A and B are shown apart, each in its own frame.
Chain A
Amino acid sequence: DVKVTQSSRYLVKRTGEKVFLECVQDMDHENMFWYRQDPGLGLRLIYFSYDVKMKEKGDIPEGYSVSREKKERFSLILESASTNQTSMYLCASSGALASGNTIYFGEGSWLTVV
């Protein structure tokens, strides 16, 4: 069974803390994505990566960075957490999208910044 695993499901962090969200996929996918989802706003792309050590900004990269040192792992980093980064964070992975490959999501990481 295919799997995208987000290791931290629920986190509470203080303003200014550095936060790491880890995502691992076991499908040898080239593409990995980080989204945040907020009520009424849908899924918003933060960063994506189409290969090891490659990264591209999405629509809302400010306040975030990412790391992809290995193909299976894509990490999202909040350098200095702020209350407006309280959200659900979803990691996704896929093969080449234009070939009709399915996008698989992790279960989500619920982050509260106080």
Chain B
Amino acid sequence: RKEVEQDPGPFNVPEGATVAFNCTYSNSASQSFFWYRQDCRKEPKLLMSVYSSGNEDGRFTAQLNRASQYISLLIRDSKLSDSATYLCVVIYNNNDMRFGAGTRLTVKP
């Protein structure tokens, strides 16, 4: 079993839709979590951190469920510009992190 798993998608949604991705992790000692966004042929860039209490940044909401060992990303009112691959990142300690393989999202007009 992979340490960090994501549904690879692709998720194809119309503009304005709400879409949610999950990411499960196997190590209960994981310390912190992030969502990164990666555009085609570009490097990953930080989208948002994930806090235990959940956090929101505009149309994006990230949540952490430690009991079930997953994090989620919710995108409301999808825009064409949201089309990208979304990577979850799980931090184990000061220099050990694991990436999910990414979930590809395509938002269509």
- Measuring CB to CB, which residues of chain A are less than 8 angstroms from any residue of chain B? 30-31, 35, 40-43, 48, 50, 56, 88, 90, 96-100, 102-103, 105-108
Contact of A43 (CB < 8 Å), options: B41, B42, B95, B99: B99
Number of B residues with CB within 8 Å of any CB on chain A: 24
Distance (whole angstroms) from the CB of B1 to the closest CB of chain A: 15
Q: Output the residue of B87, B91, B102 with the most chain A CB within 10 A.
A: B91
Q: Is B66 an interface residue (CB 8 A)?
A: no
- Measuring CB to CB, which residues of chain B are less than 8 angstroms from any residue of chain A? 8, 31-32, 34, 36, 41-46, 49, 87, 89, 91, 93-97, 99-102
Q: B87 and A97: CB pair below 8 A?
A: no
Q: A50 and B95: CB pair below 8 A?
A: yes
Q: A42 and B43: CB pair below 8 A?
A: no
Q: B95 and A31: CB pair below 8 A?
A: yes
Considering the complex, give the chain B residue whose CB is closest to the CB of A4: B43
Q: A42 and B100: CB pair below 8 A?
A: yes
Contact of B102 (CB < 8 Å), options: A42, A97, A107: A42
In the bound complex, CA of A100 to CA of B49 (Å):
8
Task: Give the tally of cross-chain contacts (CB within 8 A).
Answer: 57
Distance (whole angstroms) from the CB of A45 to the closest CB of chain B: 8
Task: Give 16 A-B contacts (CB < 8 Å), ordered by A residue.
Answer: A41-B101, A42-B100, A42-B102, A43-B99, A88-B41, A90-B44, A96-B95, A97-B31, A97-B94, A98-B93, A99-B94, A100-B49, A102-B34, A102-B46, A103-B36, A103-B97
In the bound complex, CA of A90 to CA of B102 (Å):
15
Contact of A50 (CB < 8 Å), options: B36, B43, B94: B94
Given the interface pairs A31-B95, A103-B46, A108-B43, the reply to whether A98 lies near B101 with Cβ below 8 Å is no
Distance (whole angstroms) from the CB of B91 to the closest CB of chain A: 5
Q: A98 and B43: CB pair below 8 A?
A: no
Distance (whole angstroms) from the CB of B95 to the closest CB of chain A: 4
4 additional contacts (CB under 8 A) given A50-B94, A98-B31, A105-B45: A41-B101, A42-B99, A50-B95, A100-B49
